[in-house]
């Protein structure tokens, strides 16, 4: 008796459909893994080329000038932007519309700044968030309250880092402190760096939040909510 097949001239067998679905699944898994690898590499580049590079520039200023950036060399206070108007406010670049001009202080000391976004905007770095949308990291410096594990506050100089995708913030936190904890370590969320609480805290946003919200209603086409970090300087 002749054999028959469960296939007509215009269709596919169940085996062929199953194989096709498996192949599609493998391709999607590979693509997802590749995206994670690319994102991880980009986060590491942001740390080494921008965050750590600005920390090095800050230290170079101390080594050359004998004071932290913006301090009074004739009567040092050990606090960032002692010469600001008003004093001790955030020291940012000349394009930020905030008190102080970070770029001018670094130029005056002959400090080579990270390349950043462009000449005159060395404090900024453009990257893609987890949804693939553009975001911008921006660097300032500040003298602010900083609490130890016992909840006792002292004044510390910190790098203020604006515009962090929550995934990027956690990646930087893990790189610097060994684990992502928004409350403890050298790298903290800005709202928690001077907090009296002694309990570990999560970062206040994640990739489910749309830009400027905590609504957990993020769509693939939305910019993701960003957080601000304080990175404590050694002096």
- For residue range 82-101, what is the model confidence (pLDDT) as tens digits? 999 899 999 998 654 444 58
Share the mean pLDDT of the chain: 85
Asked if residue 18 is part of any domain, the answer here is: no
State how far the Cα of 140 lies from the Cα of 137, in Å rounded to an integer. 10
Which alpha helices (DSSP H) does 1-76 contain, by range?
14-46, 52-65
pLDDT tens, 129-152? 888 899 999 999 999 999 987 788
Task: Determine contact, residues 209/195, Cβ cutoff 8 Å.
Answer: no
Find, among 140, 119, 132, 141, the residue nearest to 67 by Cα: 141
State how far the Cα of 53 lies from the Cα of 59, in Å rounded to an integer. 10
Asked which of 36-50, 60-74, 122-136 is least confident by mean pLDDT, the reply is 36-50
State how far the Cα of 57 lies from the Cα of 92, in Å rounded to an integer. 14
Mean pLDDT computed over 24-35: 62
- Residue 220's pLDDT is 66
Asked if residue 100 is part of any domain, the answer here is: yes
Q: What would the two tokens of residue 161 be?
A: 């880092």
Mean pLDDT computed over 65-94: 93
pLDDT at 154 over 70: yes
Percentage of residues of the chain with pLDDT beyond 90: 57
Residues in the chain: 235
State how far the Cα of 17 lies from the Cα of 186, in Å rounded to an integer. 54
Asked if residue 210 is part of any domain, the answer here is: yes
- Residue 2's pLDDT is 52
Looking at per-residue pLDDT, the higher value among 222 and 74 belongs to: 74
* pTM as predicted: 0.82
Asked if residue 211 is part of any domain, the answer here is: yes
Percentage of residues of the chain with pLDDT beyond 70: 82
Asked if residue 108 is part of any domain, the answer here is: yes
What is the count of structural domains for the chain?
Answer: 1
Structural domain boundaries enclosing 59:
40-232
Asked if residue 199 is part of any domain, the answer here is: yes
């Amino acid at each position: 008796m002749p054999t028959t097949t469960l296939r007509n001239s215009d269709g596919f067998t169940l085996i062929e459909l199953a194989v096709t679905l498996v192949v599609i699944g493998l391709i999607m898994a590979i693509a997802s893994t590749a995206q994670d690898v690319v994102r991880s590499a980009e986060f590491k580049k942001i740390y080494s080329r921008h965050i750590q590079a600005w920390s090095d520039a800050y230290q170079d200023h101390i080594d050359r000038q004998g004071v932290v950036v913006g301090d009074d060399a004739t009567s040092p206070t050990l606090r960032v932007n002692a010469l600001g108007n008003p004093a001790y406010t955030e020291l940012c670049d000349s394009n930020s519309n905030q008190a102080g001009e970070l770029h001018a202080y670094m130029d005056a000391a002959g400090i080579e700044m990270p390349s950043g976004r462009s000449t005159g905007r060395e404090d900024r770095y453009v990257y893609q968030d987890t949804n693939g949308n553009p975001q911008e990291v921006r660097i300032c410096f500040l003298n602010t309250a900083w609490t130890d594990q016992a909840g006792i506050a002292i004044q510390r100089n910190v790098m203020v880092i604006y515009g962090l995708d929550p995934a990027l913030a956690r990646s930087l936190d893990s790189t610097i402190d060994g684990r992502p904890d928004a409350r403890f370590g050298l790298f903290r969320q800005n709202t928690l760096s001077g907090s009296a609480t002694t309990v570990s805290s999560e970062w206040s946003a994640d990739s489910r939040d749309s830009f400027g919200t905590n609504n957990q209603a993020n769509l693939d086409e939305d910019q993701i909510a960003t957080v601000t970090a304080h990175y404590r300087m050694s002096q």
